[in-house]
Amino acid sequence: MKQLLKYMKGYEKQCVLGPLFKLLEATFELLIPLVVAAIVDKGIGSGDGGYIVKMCLVMVALGVIGLICAVTAQYFAASAAVGVSARLRKAVMGHIMGFSYTQIDEVGTSTLVTRMTSDINQVQNGVNLTLRLLLRSPFVVFGAMIMAFTIDFEAALVFAGVIPMLCIVVFGIMLITMPMYKRVQAALDRVTAATRQNLAGVRVLRAFCAEDRERENFASQTQALTRRQLGAGRISALMNPVTFVMINLAVILLVKIGAVKVEHGVLTQGLVIALYNYMSQILVELVKMANLIITMTKAVACANRVQTILDLEQDRAEGESVDKIRGEIEFRDVSARYAGAAEASVEGISFHAGPGQTIGVIGGTGAGKTTLVNLIPRLYEAYQGQVLIDGVDVSVMDAQKLRSSIGIVPQKALLFHGTIRDNLCWGKQNATDQELWDALDTAQAADMVRRREGQLDAEVSQGGRNFSGGQRQRLTIARALVRKPAILILDDSASALDYATDAKLRQSVRNMPDPPTTFIVSQRAASVRFADLILVLDDGQLVGKGSHDELMETCPVYQEIYHSQFSKEVTNHA
């Protein structure tokens, strides 16, 4: 929590002026009971209408000045709160962007989304209310008690007795509810995860008629969240009734003491009313303080949760600067596993690929194909063996420099909101129109783009929903080709393309002026059939490598894949 205070640097003025104007407002508020007492004792008591009007105008003036101070304080508090939350979001996002795939897998996307949205919003609310009320409420409470002592010592003892009791109740409830709100936020993480999963997989849910099951699962998650919120809410809800009871008992005692003193001529009726008003002010401020403490409790819990993300040390991806990469790749007895997995995803992988060669990677679902190619750009790290590029171990290379020489097309063809040009320039920010069209031609997407209104400036909706699956895949391939990479990784990125377009794409990549070392990950035998080297994976093991003809003679797994698909192709063509 303390480490988050550095994000308030630069807002010192707002952090000082906000509470200062609140204290000014509180000062004017403390004067009003004395004005009311004067109206009762001097104006009403003597029947002086002019004095009553004059003092009423004074009271209105105090109220207007207090309102101006309150609005000014709110402006400074809101400015600081919004600025701090914006800085915090930027810092968290920047920190997350440096996480490795493994760290993102361990933390979870839903958790990161909750930290970036709900948790930081709670911190923002906490900062806002803290600047407005943290000094004001205690100032009014103790100011009212001091003013009461200036009126009558014996009556003020009621204030001195009730305030410590109220503080015990307020802070006791705070200590009880703080860990409860932490558990509430943890339950919110699980609800967010369930929501994200259902929204992302809504088509699959409907295809398998699983809506009712997921609805029940979501209901159980929300009910768990509700139970935790109700538990914390019930404890917090005790704050108001308990404080009201204590204050009202104090008011009864105060009125009794005041009535006796008025009867003996020690106090005037106006001063008793002033004492009552001060007690009412204390009640109002303690209610505000109670709400402030609840908000601060949530904010502190959320701030600590955000801090855990910032404290998570990034996997160091720095290393030696990378010169121009030729594209020679060698795996030496490489093994890798995902975080928390009991078994390796790939194990004992060894092969060599020369510059400009095409490497096919084939195998069944879960065979480790994606894991293998993700080791090349250091998206995941090998725990055993070496991955060498141009004879240099990638573990000592600077990851950013390394990835700038690699074109990666992931399994999920994801486009971003903007234009086609914006999306293609992710591959190379200063790419010329000719470079963009060359990449589109190679990716077999140029004709599709030319038919679009605006062509390169045609709009792309979020996720590329206004394009078909095959169109999205071709655009993501073009995005990777724009940078003219030395290594190109096509991770099952042509699954939505027909066989003819897929073949043209592979041929176009081969015919590039300086062809990259290309890894084609696919479950189609036709897509890797003409590769220079085919790697056959089965349950994380390299069970075969060689050309198509060699594997047809020596690798039963490849034979099974090829014959099953070839028979289907023949049937479909028939």
Taking residues 109-118, report their average pLDDT: 81
Query: Is a pLDDT exceeding 50 seen at residue 550?
Result: yes
The pLDDT tens digits of the residues spanning 22-48 come to 999 888 888 888 888 888 888 887 778
- C-alpha closest to that of 289 among 121, 170, 126: 170
- Contact by Cβ (8 Å): 333, 348: yes
Query: Residue 21: what pLDDT?
Result: 92
Share of the chain above pLDDT 90, in %: 5
Rounded Cα distance, 475 and 443, in Å? 7
Last residue of a domain, one of 264, 285, 311: 311
Q: Is residue 49 part of a domain?
A: yes
**According to the model, what pLDDT value does residue 572 have?**
43
pLDDT of residue 239: 77
- Report how far residue 399's alpha carbon sits from residue 98's, in angstroms, rounded to the nearest whole number: 11
What average pLDDT does the segment 542-566 reach? Answer: 86
The CA distance from 477 to 409, in Å, is: 6
pTM score, two decimals? 0.67
Q: What's the rounded Cα separation, in Å, for the pair 59 and 237?
A: 34
Q: Is residue 414 part of a domain?
A: no
Q: What's the pLDDT score for residue 574? A: 33
Q: Are residues 307 and 322 in the same domain?
A: no
| Residue 474 within a domain | no
Query: What confidence score (pLDDT) does residue 182 get?
Result: 74
Mean pLDDT of the chain: 83
The two structure tokens encoding residue 5: 């205070």
Distance of CA 389 to the CA centre of its chain: 35
Q: Can you give the pLDDT at residue 76?
A: 93
For every residue of 352-377, DSSP letters joined together read EE-TT-EEEEEESTTSSHHHHHHTTT
Chain position carrying tokens 């590029």: 389
Same domain, 30 and 165: yes
Q: What is the pLDDT of residues 131-161, one digit of tens each?
A: 888 888 888 888 888 888 888 888 888 888 8
Give the domain-ending residue among 311, 338, 366.
311
Q: Are residues 243 and 385 in the same domain?
A: no
User: Which CATH number covers residue 7?
Assistant: 1.20.1560.10
- Which amino acid is residue 361, in one-letter code? V
Average pLDDT over residues 160-185: 79
Say if residue 41 is in the same domain as residue 186: yes
Whether residue 191 sits in one domain with residue 145:
yes
Which residue would you say has higher pLDDT here, 146 or 565? 146
Q: Does 339 reside within a domain?
A: yes
Banded model confidence at residue 573, pLDDT cuts 50, 70, 90: very low
In this structure, the answer to whether residues 21 and 113 fall within a common structural domain is yes
Assess whether 256 and 374 both reside in one domain: no
Question: First and final CA of the chain: distance in angstroms?
Answer: 69
CATH of the domain at 349: 3.40.50.300
Cβ(536)–Cβ(542) below 8 Å: yes
Of 279, 311, 343, the position where a domain reaches its end is 311
Residue 539 lies in a domain: yes
Spatial distance between the Cα atoms of 303 and 5, rounded to a whole number of angstroms: 10
Please say if the pLDDT value at position 285 is more than 70.
yes
Contact predicate 519/373, CB 8 Å: yes
Tell me how far CA of residue 362 lies from CA of 176, 245, 367, 535, in angstroms.
Answer: 57, 74, 9, 6
Average pLDDT value for residue range 216-235 = 87
> Which residue do the tokens 């410590």 mark?
164
Domain total in the chain: 2
Domain containing 279 equals 2-311
pLDDT digits (tens, 9 = 90+) for 71-85: 999 999 999 999 888
Among 105-114, 220-229, 326-335, which is the least confidently predicted range?
105-114
Are residues 283 and 331 located together in one domain of the fold?
Answer: no
Shared domain check, 284 and 346: no
Mean pLDDT along residues 310-332 = 76
Q: Is residue 168 part of a domain?
A: yes
- Pairwise pLDDT comparison (192 vs 535), residue with the higher score: 535
**Token pair for residue 362?**
């084939």
User: Could you report the per-residue pLDDT of 475-531, keeping only the tens digit for each?
Assistant: 888 888 888 888 999 888 877 777 888 888 888 888 888 888 999 888 888 888 888
User: Is residue 535 one of the residues assigned to a domain?
Assistant: yes
| 23 and 132 share one domain | yes
Residue 418 lies in a domain: no
Amino acid symbol at 102: T
Burial of 336 (0-12, 13-18, 19+ CB in 10 A): buried
Q: For the chain, what percent of residues have pLDDT higher than 70?
A: 96
Do 296 and 364 lie in a common domain?
Answer: no
Q: Same structural domain for residues 301 and 168?
A: yes
Average the pLDDT over 357-385 and give the result.
86
Question: What does the pLDDT average to over 466-477?
Answer: 86
Distance, CA of 319 to CA of 567 (rounded, Å) = 49
Asked whether the predicted pLDDT for residue 317 surpasses 50, the reply is yes
